[in-house]
Amino acid sequence: MKKMSRFIVILSILFPGIVGAQSCEPKFDYYKRGKDVIFYVNNMPINFPYYIWNFGDGSAPKFEREDFTSKSFTNTGTYYVCLRDSFCTTSPNQFCDSVQISSSTPVYADFSYTLEGNGKITLYNNASSSSAIMAYYWDLGDGTALDGENDSLVYQYKSSGTYSVCMYAFDQQKNYNYQCSTVTVFVPAPCYAEFTKPIANGSHYFLNQSVFPGSTATWLWNFGDSTTSTAKNPVKDYANAGTYEVSLTLNGPCNSKVTQTFTILDKKTCELKVSATNINQKATITIEDTANSLMFYDVDFGDGQILSTNQKIIEHIYPDTGFYTITVQNFHSLCGEIYGFGNVYINSAIPICNASFSAFPGDTSGNKAFIFSDSRITANANNKSYININWGDGTTEIDSTNKIYYQHEYDTAGIYTIRMIVSNQVNCADTSYRSIGVGPVYKVSGRLKQGNNPAMFSPVNAFMYEPQSGRLAYAYATMSNDSGFYEMFLRKGYYLIQTDFAFDPTSQDFYLPTYYGDKLNWTTSDILTIVSDRNNIDINLIPFTPSNQNGGKIAGTAVYGKNVKDNGTTIPEGKAAEKMLIFLLDQNEKAIAFTHTDANGKFEFNNMGAGNFRVWAEMPGKTTIAPYVYLAHQTATADKLKIVIGQNSVTAINEPESVIAMDQFVLYPNPATETITIQNKTGGPEMADIAIFDMMGKQMDLVIHKDKQNTSIAISSLKAGMYYVQIKDVNGHVLSKKLVKQEN
C-alpha cells in the first residue's frame, strides 16, 4: 500500500489536474507494467464514497475506499474495466474503458549516477522505450520527488545516510517501468554563523542561531557603533538612532562571519503608556502610543482576560477587589515587541448576581416547558437570595431555595419569552431571557443555490434565536437533495438557518457556509419567524475566491473565554478552540481566506498582501473578540494574534501593591521555544525568587538556574500558550511579565 501511495503521488505530480478534480461522474485512468496495472480515479466525487471496480476478467467486483487500486491480470488480452462509486445517484454513475494487457512492458527504466564527498549526487537518465517516453520522475528516497526534465539531475542531500533512489519512466501508450538503486552518501556537519534580532520596547536581543559541530565555539559581535561583545546572546541598547551594520563572527569548528544591517529608532518612539481609573469594579484604561502607527493592541487586564482592540480608551469590569497589573502589548515593524504597564486597585466589590438558564420544550403532544438554571447569587443569612421566573404567559414563580430545575405547562401552543431575575433583595439583581416554542411543529423548506446551480446534498442547520439576549440554541439539521431542495420541522419561534460548505462541480467554484439572508456571520443574518409552515426559504451561498497575493502571514491562537457552554457543559476558560472555523476578512468585510484551528487552537494564513484585515471565528451564538490586523507591506508578518470565543473573566493572580520598576529586569527571547533568560539590566536589587504561572494561576514545575544578574529557565516542557513570569527581588518587590511559549 505504501508503494501504491507513492505511485499515485508520482502521477499527481507528473500530470497535475488529473487527480483531485471533483464531479459526480466517476472516471479513471491507468498505467500498466506488463500484466500489473495501477488504476486511479481522476475525477473524484464531492463526498468520500467507496469505489466499485469490475475488471472484466470474471473476478468478483472489488470494493475500494482509496481513490486508486491495483490489479494483476492472469492472462494477456483486452479487458473491459468499469468503475462505479457509491455516492453518485445521478446518471451517468459508471465509467468504462478497454485495457490491453500484454506479458511485458516496452519501457526500459535505467539510470546511473556519480557521488561527491559532500552529499551531492548526479543522476543520468538512460531510459528507453519502443514508443516515445512521455515523462520520467525521480524519487530520491528522502521524501523528495522531482520531475525528470533533462538527461541528468543534480541533487544535494541534507544529511548522511543510505537512500533508495528510484527512477520511473512513462511512455505515451500508458506503459511504465521503474528501477531502484541503493545509494550511500556522506554529508559533512554544517558549520556557519547566523543570528536574528528580536526587539522589545526598543531593546535589541541578538539571538545566536549559528550551526556548528560539537559544543565548543567562541563568538565576537560587532554592533556597528564601535562596541563589541563575546556573549553568546547579548542584549544591546543603542545610544543614538540610526542605521548600523552588525556582524557575528564564529570561531572554533570553523571560521564564519555573517553581517546584517538594521535601522535603530529612538527609544521614545517605541513607548506605550498605560493609565487606569476606576469606580468600584469598573475601570477605564487609557493607552498612549508614541509610535502612533499601531493598528490594534493586545490588552491583558491582569485578571485573566485578554482583549485585542484598536481602541485607546477601554472599559473593563473586574470580578473582585484586589490589585491588578494591566499589560498592553503590540508589535511595531521597527520597535519590535512593545509593552506598556499600568496598575489599578479595586477596593470595593459589587455583589454577584448572575442570571443564567436554559429552556427546553416538552414533546409535541403537549405545551410543557422545562428550565435548567445555572444562576449565581451572593447571599448570607441576613440577605436571602431569590429567583423570580416570568413564564411569558402572565404566570410567575418565586423561589428562595435556588432550585436548579423548573417546569411549566402552557395553556396554548406558541412562542413565549421566559424572564428570570436573580436578586439578593438588597444591592444586586440580574435578568436573563430565553425564547421557547411549545406545541406542534411546522414544515420549513426552501432551495439552496450556488450561482445558477442547485447546492446538492448540502447540510442545513437551524438555530433558535433569543431576541433579548441574542443567544442561539441548536434546533434541527437536514440535507438538501440533488435539486438543492431541503425541508425541516420546527416549533414556533425565531430561527437562524445556515448552510455548510459547498462545491459546484460544473463551475469548479467553492462556496462558504451562508445564513438565511445570504450573510456570512450569524450576528448579521436575517431572523426567521416561524408561526406556521414556511416555504421558499431560499439561500444563495456566498462564493469564495482564495487570496494569493504575496508573502505576508497572519497567524495566532483561538481560545474559549469564561462561561462558554456547549450543550449545557461549561468549557474550561482558556481551552484551545479546536477545529474552529476562522475567516480572514478584508477591509470591506469580504472573506478572502478561511481555515480551521488545530488541536492547540492555532491557525495560519499565508500569501497575504498589505492592508487592513480582521480575523473572525464563526461559532453560532458565541461572541467573538475579533482582532484587527494591519500588514504594512507585502511580506509583513503578524503571528501573535489571539481570538477569544465568548465571555472571558477569571480571578487574577494576586499581586502586592509594590511593583519593581518595569525596566529593571528584561526577559528574552519572547516568544520562546526552549530557554528564556532573565537579566538584571540596571544592576539594582538582586532577584530573590522566580516562578512561572499559567493563565489559570497554576504554578509550573520548572528547573531554574539563577545567579545574581542572569537567570536561565528551560521551558521546552511547557505547552504552547500564554504564561506569567513572576519576579521577586530581595526587597520583596514583585514584577509579572507575560511570556508566549511557542511550539518546539
Compute the CA torsion angle 140, 144, 146, 151 (nearest 10 deg). Answer: -30
Model pTM score: 0.38
pLDDT at 248 over 90: yes
pLDDT digits (tens, 9 = 90+) for 374-418: 776 755 444 567 889 999 888 999 888 778 889 999 998 888 888
- Determine the pLDDT at residue 650: 22
Percent of the chain with pLDDT over 70: 81
pLDDT of res. 21: 36
Q: Of 311, 276, 284, 274, which is closest to residue 296 (Cα–Cα)?
A: 311
More confident residue, 32 or 376: 32
Per-residue pLDDT, averaged over 677-690, amounts to 74
* C-alpha grid cell, residue 302: 491582569
Query: Taking a C-beta distance cutoff of 8 angstroms, is the pair 603, 555 a contact?
Result: yes
pLDDT for position 349: 66
| Spatial distance between the Cα atoms of 204 and 213, rounded to a whole number of angstroms | 27
Neighbours of 184 (CB within 10 A): 9
pLDDT of residue 11: 56
pLDDT at 653 over 50: no
pLDDT (0 to 100) of residue 123 = 92
Which residue intervals of 475-575 are DSSP H helices?
A: none
* 469 pLDDT more than 50: yes
Neighbours of 701 (CB within 10 A): 7
Least confident of 214-223, 315-324, 469-478: 469-478
> For residue 64, what pLDDT is reported?
77
Give the tens place of pLDDT for each residue, 555-601: 888 888 776 765 445 677 788 888 788 888 887 778 888 888 888 88
Quick one: pLDDT at residue 452?
85
More confident residue, 247 or 506: 247
Average pLDDT, the chain: 79
**Predicted local confidence at residue 121, as pLDDT:** 92
17 band by pLDDT with thresholds 50, 70 and 90 = very low
Domains, the chain, with CATH or none = 2-101 (2.60.40.10), 107-185 (2.60.40.10), 195-264 (2.60.40.10), 267-349 (2.60.40.10), 353-438 (2.60.40.10), 441-544 (2.60.40.1120), 552-645 (2.60.40.10), 660-744 (2.60.40.10)
Q: What single letter denotes the amino acid at residue 271?
A: E
* Cell 439539521 found at: 477
Contacts of 59 (CB under 8 A, 6+ apart): none
